[in-house]
Amino acid sequence: EKYGIFLGLISTSVDVDAFENLVHLEQKYKEPDSLRRILALVGLHNDEHLNRVTVLSNKDKRRVEDIRHVADYVANNRSLTRQLYDYGVQAVKDFYYLQNDDKAFHYINEWVRPLFPITATDVLPFTNGEGPMVGIVLKGLENYWIDNSFKSSKSDLMAMIKDFNQ
């Protein structure tokens, strides 16, 4: 930025401070990442400038979208656990790297996505075989399970379906 190198690529100024903070954090954890660095320079929501600087693979496009979703979750005070469950360790960690916030890295690194104990086959008998209803019931049960820290067992969740159907 000091020597105008970016002016040919980006018609606006870059965030050198965000870039320096990110590089420092990446060095601390020995996890350098070129995509994160580009996002730190041009901004997470600046597609026009991002497209001028690089051509993203489909995988990287999904990664950027997931980071943006995590940003929305944070803005809406969704829990760290919910962020991780819905978007995964990579996207959540990327977001916090870009925020220069490593307070939760230990939790993020240790987190393992729990396996939802209910399947469509479990729900099917209670929905009269209606496909859309199976999805609705599954999503409702999964949200309950997540909101209760993954503590509800399969039998607890099945009892909820049985109680609801009575």
How does pLDDT run across 102-124, given as a tens digit for each residue? 999 999 999 999 999 999 999 99
DSSP for residue 5: G
What average pLDDT does range 153-164 have in this prediction?
A: 89
Lowest mean pLDDT among 65-74, 94-103, 128-137, 148-157: 128-137
When pLDDT is averaged across residues 154-160 and rounded to a whole number, the result is 93
Q: Is the pLDDT of residue 54 over 90?
A: no
Tell me the whole-structure pTM to 2 decimals: 0.84
User: Residue 121, CB half-sphere, CA atoms under 13 Å: how many?
Assistant: 1
